[in-house]
Amino acid sequence: MPDIKIKRELLMILLELGKSSHPSEFLALLIKNGDTIDEFELAPGTITGSSSARYQPDMMPLGTGISGSAHSHPSGAIRPSDADLRFFPAVGKYHIIIGAPYTEDDWRCFFADGSPCSVEVID
């Protein structure tokens, strides 16, 4: 049984965001409704570069239901960095990392502690 579900359409959008942002990272905040991640918000005030993406948490609107994050690793590494492991707990439970070349196989989900999270992709 998966830990969480994600809408295929949302996953495809996140992969495209990674591709279109390359060689810089992108950062999005994930929204979960029920047991499914089905929305995202681009974090306001995000500063991106080739090795990091940062946002201003005090600029987030209240009550958005943020349950995690998604960001890209232009290097193609789809595992949490030390910086990711410091960031994850402040943003929610589920964290998707998308790596170059941004195909349907180039992503993984992790819990806030960096351990793998199983995800079912649904239509």
Superfamily of domain covering 4-56+63-122: Cytidine Deaminase, domain 2 (3.40.140.10)
Compute the distance between CA of residue 34 and CA of residue 38 in angstroms, rounded to an integer.
10
Q: What's the chain's average pLDDT?
A: 87
Query: What is the set of active-site residues?
Result: 25
Give per-residue pLDDT as tens, 4-19: 999 999 999 999 999 9
Going from N- to C-terminal start, the domains of the chain cover: 4-56+63-122
- pTM of the shown model: 0.88
Compute the average pLDDT of residues 94-122: 98
Compute the average pLDDT of residues 15-43: 91
Q: Is 109 helix (H, G, I), strand (E, B) or coil?
A: strand
pLDDT of residue 49: 46
Compute the distance between CA of residue 8 and CA of residue 20 in angstroms, rounded to an integer.
18
